[in-house]
Structure 1
Amino acid sequence: MAYNDSRQTAIRLYRKLRLGWIFNTSTFTGNFLLALLVGYFFKKLGYPDDVNYVFFLSVLAIGLWITEAIPPFAVGIFIIAGLLLGFGTDFILEDHKTPVEMYLGTWTSNVIWLLLGGFFLAEAMSQVGLDKALFRFTLDKFGSKPERLLMGLMLTTAVGSMVMSNTATTAMMISSILPLAHMMGKNSAYTKALLVGIPAAATLGGMGTIIGSTPNAIAVGALQEKGINITFIEWMIFGLPTALLATYLFWKFLTRSLRIKAIEIDLSKLSYETSNPKKFEKNAVLFTLIITVATWLTEPIHHIPIAATSAIPIVLLTLFQIIKAEDVRRLPWDTLMLVAGGLALGIAMVDVGLTDIVMEKINQLPIPLFGVGIVFSIIAVLISNIMSNTAAASILVPLGLALPGIWGFAVPLIVALSCSSALLLPVSTPSNAIAFSTGMIEQKNFRSGGLLMIVLGPILAFVSVMIYALIFGA
Structure 2
Amino acid sequence: MAHSDSRRATIRLYRKLKSGWIWATSTFTGNLILASFISSFFRNLGYPDDVNFVFFLSILAVGLWVTEAIPPFAVGIFIIAGLLFGFGTNFVLEGQKTPVEMYLGTWTSNVIWLLLGGFFLAEGLSIVSLDRALFRFTLSKFGSDPSRLLLGLMLTTAVGSMVMSNTATTAMMVSSILPLARLMGKDSEYTKALLIGIPAAATLGGMGTIIGSTPNAIAVGALQEKGINITFIEWMLFGIPVALISIYVFWKFLTKKLQLDGIVLDTSELMGKTNTKNGFEKYAVIFTLSLTVFMWLTEPIHGVPIAATSAIPIVLLTLFQVIKAEDVRRLPWDTLMLVAGGLALGIAMVDVGLTDIIMEKISQLPIPMIGVAIVFSIVAVLISNIMSNTAAASILVPLGLSLPGIWGFAVPLIIALSCSCALLLPVSTPSNAISYSTGMIEQKSFRPGGLLMMVLGPVLAFVSVMLYALIFF
State the Cα distance separating 1:398 from its structure 2 match.
7.5
Q: Which residue in 2 is equivalent to 1:204?
A: 201
Task: For residues 304-341 of structure 1, give each alpha carbon's deviation from its aligned partner in whole angstroms, at most 9, with x where no partner exists.
Answer: 11111111111111111122222222222222212211
Amino acid at match of 2:128: V
> How far, CA to CA, are the matches of 2:70 and 2:245 in structure 1?
37
State the Cα distance separating 1:69 from its structure 2 match.
0.9
State the Cα distance separating 1:176 from its structure 2 match.
3.7
Q: 1:13 to 1:176 in 2, by over 3 A?
A: closer
Q: Which residue in 2 is equivalent to 1:5?
A: none
Q: Mind listing any 5+ residue stretches in structure 1 that lack a counterpart?
A: 1-7
For the 8 Å contact 1:204–1:247, the answer to whether it is kept is: yes
2:58 corresponds to 1:85: no
State the Cα distance separating 1:415 from its structure 2 match.
3.9
Q: Which residue in 2 is equivalent to 1:175?
A: 179
Q: 1:95 to 1:106 in 2, by over 3 A?
A: same
Q: Which residue in 2 is equivalent to 1:346?
A: 346
- Give the alignment of 1:431-470 within 5 angstroms: 456-462=456-462
State the Cα distance separating 1:403 from its structure 2 match.
3.3
Amino acid at match of 2:36: L
SS of residue matched to 1:19: helix
> How far, CA to CA, are the matches of 2:72 and 2:257 in structure 1?
35
For the 8 Å contact 1:106–1:341, the answer to whether it is kept is: yes
State the Cα distance separating 1:145 from its structure 2 match.
8.6
For the 8 Å contact 1:393–1:415, the answer to whether it is kept is: no
Q: Which residue in 2 is equivalent to 1:4?
A: none
> How far, CA to CA, are the matches of 2:47 and 2:264 in structure 1?
66
> How far, CA to CA, are the matches of 1:469 and 1:342 in structure 2?
34
> How far, CA to CA, are the matches of 1:471 and 1:288 in structure 2?
44
Task: For residues 421-459 of structure 1, give each alpha carbon's deviation from its aligned partner in whole angstroms, at most 9, with x where no partner exists.
Answer: 899xxxx96899899979xxxx9xx97x88875654334
Q: Answer with 25-34 or 392-401: which moved more.
A: 392-401
State the Cα distance separating 1:379 from its structure 2 match.
6.8
Q: Which residue in 2 is equivalent to 1:287?
A: 287
- Give the alignment of 1:121-200 within 5 angstroms: 121-142=121-142, 151-159=151-159, 162=166, 164=168, 166=170, 169-170=173-174, 172-173=176-177, 175-176=179-180, 196=193, 199-200=196-197
For the 8 Å contact 1:80–1:104, the answer to whether it is kept is: yes
SS of residue matched to 1:419: coil
TM-score, normalization: structure 2? 0.71
For the 8 Å contact 2:197–2:251, the answer to whether it is kept is: no
For the 8 Å contact 2:157–2:169, the answer to whether it is kept is: no
SS of residue matched to 2:416: helix
For the 8 Å contact 2:417–2:458, the answer to whether it is kept is: yes
For the 8 Å contact 1:421–1:457, the answer to whether it is kept is: no
- Give the alignment of 1:5-24 within 5 angstroms: 15=15, 17-24=17-24
State the Cα distance separating 1:92 from its structure 2 match.
1.3
For the 8 Å contact 2:332–2:437, the answer to whether it is kept is: no
State the Cα distance separating 1:413 from its structure 2 match.
2.9
SS of residue matched to 1:90: coil
2:399 corresponds to 1:403: yes
SS of residue matched to 1:114: helix
What number of residue pairs does the alignment pair up?
434
Task: For residues 129-163 of structure 1, give each alpha carbon's deviation from its aligned partner in whole angstroms, at most 9, with x where no partner exists.
Answer: 13431233234445679987665444335456746
> How far, CA to CA, are the matches of 2:116 and 2:414 in structure 1?
26
> How far, CA to CA, are the matches of 1:333 and 1:67 in structure 2?
22
Cα RMSD (Å):
5.2
Using the aligned pairs only, state the percent identity. 59
Q: Answer with 275-284 or 51-60: which moved more.
A: 275-284
State the Cα distance separating 1:99 from its structure 2 match.
1.2
Q: Which residue in 1 is equivalent to 2:330?
A: 330
